Structure 1
Amino acid sequence: MSTTTTPRPKAAATTSAPAWQRVASRLDWRRDIIYVGFVVVFVVFAVLLGDQGFLSTTNLLNILRQTAIITIIAVGMTFVIACAEIDLSVGSIAGLTSITAAMAIAAFGLVPGIIAGLAIGVVVGAVNGSLVAFLRIPSFLVTLAMLGIAAGVAQWVTASAPQPILDRTFNTVFGSGNIGRLPGLVIWSGVVVAIGAVVLKKAKFGRQVLATGANRTAAEYSGINTRAIKFRVMMISAMAASLAGLLYAGRLQSGRFQWGAGDELSAIAAVILGGTALAGGRGSVVGTLFGALLMGLINNGLILAGLDSSQQQVIRGVIIILAVALARNK
Structure 2
Amino acid sequence: MGKQGEKFNFGKFYTRYGTFMLLLVIFVASMVCVPNFLGRENLTNILRQIAVVTILAFGVQFVIILGHINVALGSEIALIGCVSCLVMVNLQDKIGSLMGLITAIAVALLVGIAIGAINGFVITHFKIPAFIMTLGVTEVARGFSLILTSGKPVSGMDASFKFLGQGYILGVIPVSVMVMILVFAVCWIILNKNKFGRHLYAVGGNINAAEASGIKVKMVVRKAFIIDGICAAIAGVLFMSRLGTGQPSSGVTYEFKAITACVVGGTSLAGGSGSLVGTLIGSVIVGIIENVQTLLGINAYWQQVVRGLIILIAVIIDVVTKRAAAKSK
With normalisation by structure 2, the TM-score equals: 0.89
Which structure has the highest helix share of the two? 2
Please state if 1:240 is matched with 2:231. Answer: yes
Equivalent AA in structure 2 for residue 42 of structure 1: F
Q: How does 1:112-127 map to 2 (within 5 A)?
A: 112-127=103-118
Q: How far 1:184 sits from its partner (Å)? A: 0.5
C-alpha distance in 1 between matches for 2:279 and 2:11: 21
**Secondary structure of residue in 2 paired with 1:74:** helix
What is the correspondence of 1:19-30 to structure 2 with a 5 Å cutoff? 28-30=13-15
Contact 1:98 1:259 in 2 (8 A): no
- Segments of 5+ residues of structure 1 without an aligned counterpart are 1-21
**Separation of aligned partners in 2, 1:286 and 1:119:** 27
Contact 1:79 1:283 in 2 (8 A): no
User: Equivalent residue for 1:178?
Assistant: 168
Q: What does the per-residue CA deviation read over 1:117-175, in whole Å, with 9 as the maximum and x for residues that have no partner?
A: 22220211111010112221110100010011101111122222100142122221x21
Q: Which runs of 5+ in 2 are unaligned?
A: 1-6, 93-99, 323-329
Q: How big is the shift at 1:32?
A: 2.8
What number of residue pairs does the alignment pair up? 306
Deviations 1:35-71 (A, max 9, x none): 1111101101101112xx1110110111011001100
Q: Does 1:90 align with 2:73?
A: yes
What is the DSSP-based 3-state SS (H/G/I as helix, E as strand, rest coil) of the residue aligned with 1:87?
A: coil
The question of whether the paired residues in 2 share the 8 Å contact of 1:30 and 1:326 is answered with no
C-alpha distance in 2 between matches for 1:314 and 1:248: 24
SS of aligned partner of 1:328: helix
The RMSD of aligned alpha carbons is 1.8
2:103 maps to a residue whose letter is: P
Partner of 2:182: 191
TM-score calculated relative to the size of structure 1: 0.89
SS at match of 2:303: helix
CA distance in 2, matches of 1:306, 1:125: 39
Q: Which has the larger radius of gyration?
A: 1
1:185-227 superposed Cα distances (whole Å, 9 cap, x missing partner)? 1101111112212221221111100000001110011111010
How do residues 1-330 of structure 1 correspond to structure 2 at under 5 angstroms?
A: 28-50=13-35, 53-109=36-92, 110=100, 111-172=102-163, 174-180=164-170, 181-329=172-320, 330=322
Task: Give the stretch that moved more between structures: 33-42 or 191-200.
Answer: 191-200
- Identical columns (%): 35
Q: What CA distance in whole angstroms lies between the structure 2 residues aligned with 1:29 and 1:119?
A: 39
Residue in 1 aligned with 2:4?
A: none
CA distance in 1, matches of 2:11, 2:300: 39
Q: Quick one: distance in 2 between partners of 1:60 and 1:126?
A: 37
Distance in 2 separating the partners of 1:248 and 1:105:
15
